[in-house]
Amino acid sequence: MSKGTLFDKVWDLHTVGTLPSGQTQLLIGLHLIHEVTSPQAFAMLRERGLKVLFPERTIATVDHIVPTTNQARPFVDTLAEEMMQALERNCQENGITFYNIGSGSQGIVHVIAPEQGLTQPGMTIACGDSHTSTHGAFGAIAFGIGTSQVRDVLASQTLALSKLKVRKIEVNGTLKPGVYAKDVILHIIRTLGVKGGVGYAYEYAGTTFEQMNMEERMTVCNMSIEGGARCGYINPDRVTYEYLKGRDFAPKGEDWERAVVWWESIKSDADAEYDDVVVFDAADIPPTVTWGITPGQGIGINQFIPAPEQLPPDDRQIAEEAYSYMDLAPGKPICGTKVDVCFIGSCTNGRISDLREAAKVAKGRHVAQGVKAFVVPGSERVKQQAEAEGLDKIFTAAGFEWREPGCSMCLAMNPDKLEGRQLSASSSNRNFKGRQGSASGRTLLMSPAMVAAAAVKGEVIDVRELL
Ligand code: SF4
């Protein structure tokens, strides 16, 4: 069992007690809610005559269903409008802060909480969305939860959870030019497998993560769940504190000084014991792209789609399924694969630094004929910042559409959907069958810079050729 790790310390500090099931009742410091997984939870609360116990520890935004073009109310999609109204009503009735469209702070739940300083080291955080692991970038322990657990947190501010093992994933060295945080996490998942992290929290350590900025760290932690880990985190350090200082909800004055002392104390000890340790060399990580139907089916940009006999026996069946669904043949290069749609956005890669990297590639070039390319900022603040820097102009001059903030084609619960067999180059986090709105649509995951490169070439290419 892990000992002396940040996970261990934060878990113990938030333990309320042990339940008859043997699970821990864990206090949740911050609960983030959105329109998709909360309406039923509030309904369950009402049925039982319960109230939200700590409304001040619950923050709401709207992200999954928002249109990214016409946001006029009522929404054209009546189901989306109903969800929106339910969230507005539930927040109002329960005194919950809601960052609605036009508030200046709306956006994807995992983008807005860090940018406002709500996400802080040593916290426990829960949200009814799988990619809540994002918040671990700050040294928080953050869990994606289901609707009945959203109900539990609303009613009791606690969750019943079984303690996880901790795997330290160490990556050392400087990434090569054209290799980004997204490539690092795709490489890790590809190596350890999509189920490799089941039962674990992932602690990311080593000089590569130390050199990353907070947004890059968020990209890595965001996809921990795609590697099977329930959460992922990075110990807080100077980079974390510099990012947090001065943000809306960050401690101020003497509280700040006290907070830093506490944050330093919850870091994993130098002699911490881990349940497992895996070490990577940053120099071995290439720009990485998925070819299949799980985020673990990835390859280096200049590699060939693996043949079944090159894969472990357990991976062969899903590979066969992927060749046929994706219409990509084993033994062929992924470079040169024609793309129809290019999507830059999501809670993985919809932050300002992602847009800056993609804009560097798009600048002075033009989207290839027949390709639909669009950029969806992760939040209203990201959009505002990008426009202040003129990134929107770079994108639109290059033929990209510049949209309003939201989840958009990450999950396609709004009007942004693939059509038929379209193939998308996407900076999001899941390439499951039908994920982007068409039951037969296909997705290749990659970094935002690689998506921009695919957009201007009309096919998957090595972004380094354009840098
Ligand atoms: S961007 Fe995608 S993964 Fe992130 S919160 Fe929205 S739907 Fe979920």
Cis peptide preceding 74, ω within 30 of 0: yes
Distance CA(371)–CA(453), nearest Å, equals: 12
Looking at the CA of residue 378, tell me the nearest atom of ligand 1.
Answer: 1
Distance 129 CA to ligand 1 centre (A): 7
Distance CA(381)–CA(387), nearest Å, equals: 10
Residue 422's nearest CA partner among 406, 437, 408 is 437
pLDDT at position 122, please? 98
3-state secondary structure 76-98: CCHHHHHHHHHHHHHHHHHCCEE
Strands lying side by side in the sheet with 423-426: 401-402, 372-375, 341-344, 423-426, 442-445
362-395: b or e for each residue (b if 16 or more CB lie within 10 Å)?
beebebbeebbbbbbbbbbbbbebbeeeebbebb
For the entire predicted model, the pTM comes to: 0.98
Q: Would you say 228 and 197 are in contact if contact means Cβ atoms under 8 Å apart?
A: yes
Dihedral pair phi/psi, residue 231, rounded to 5°: -155, 165
Residue 241's nearest CA partner among 254, 226, 229, 251 is 251
Question: Ligand 1, from 68, 106, 110: best to mutate by most atoms within 8 Å of Cβ?
Answer: 110
pLDDT at position 459, please? 98
Tell me which CATH code domain 288-465 carries: 3.30.499.10
Distance CA(399)–CA(301), nearest Å, equals: 25
Q: Which residues are annotated as a binding site for [4Fe-4S] cluster?
A: 347, 407, 410
Distance 400 CA to ligand 1 centre (A): 21
Q: Hey, what are 239's tokens?
A: 């980079």
3-state secondary structure 14-34: CEEEECCCCCEEEECCEEEEC
Distance 257 CA to ligand 1 centre (A): 34
CA 447 distance to own-chain centroid: 13
pLDDT at position 274, please? 98
Q: Would you say 160 and 24 are in contact if contact means Cβ atoms under 8 Å apart?
A: yes
pLDDT at position 2, please? 74
Q: Hey, what are 130's tokens?
A: 């799988």
Domain boundaries, the chain: 6-161, 165-284, 288-465
pLDDT at position 440, please? 98
| Tens place of pLDDT per residue across the chain (467 aa) | 678 999 999 999 999 999 999 999 999 999 999 999 999 999 999 999 999 999 999 999 999 999 999 999 999 999 999 999 999 999 999 999 999 999 999 999 999 999 999 999 999 999 999 999 999 999 999 999 999 999 999 999 999 999 999 999 999 999 999 999 999 999 999 999 999 999 999 999 999 999 999 999 999 999 999 999 999 999 999 999 999 999 999 999 999 999 999 999 999 999 999 999 999 999 999 999 999 999 999 999 999 999 999 999 999 999 999 999 999 999 999 999 999 999 999 999 999 999 999 999 999 999 999 999 999 999 999 999 999 999 999 999 999 999 999 999 999 999 999 999 999 999 999 999 999 999 999 999 999 999 999 999 999 999 999 99
Question: Ligand 1, from 224, 428, 436: best to mutate by most atoms within 8 Å of Cβ?
Answer: 428
Burial class of residue 65 in the structure, from the number of CB atoms within 10 Å of its CB (0-12 exposed, 13-18 middle, 19+ buried): buried
If one counts every other C-beta atom within 10 angstroms of the C-beta of residue 241, the result is 17
Burial class of residue 138 in the structure, from the number of CB atoms within 10 Å of its CB (0-12 exposed, 13-18 middle, 19+ buried): buried
Dihedral pair phi/psi, residue 352, rounded to 5°: -60, -40
Please name the fold of domain 165-284. Aconitase; Domain 2 (3.40.1060)
- Which architecture, in CATH terms, is 6-161? 2-Layer Sandwich (3.30)
CA 257 distance to own-chain centroid: 30
Domains 6-161 and 288-465 alike in fold: yes
Distance 407 CA to ligand 1 centre (A): 5
Strands lying side by side in the sheet with 158-161: 15-18, 24-27, 158-161
Distance CA(447)–CA(449), nearest Å, equals: 5
**Which residue's CA is the closest to the ligand 1 atom numbered 3?**
131
Distance CA(20)–CA(155), nearest Å, equals: 19
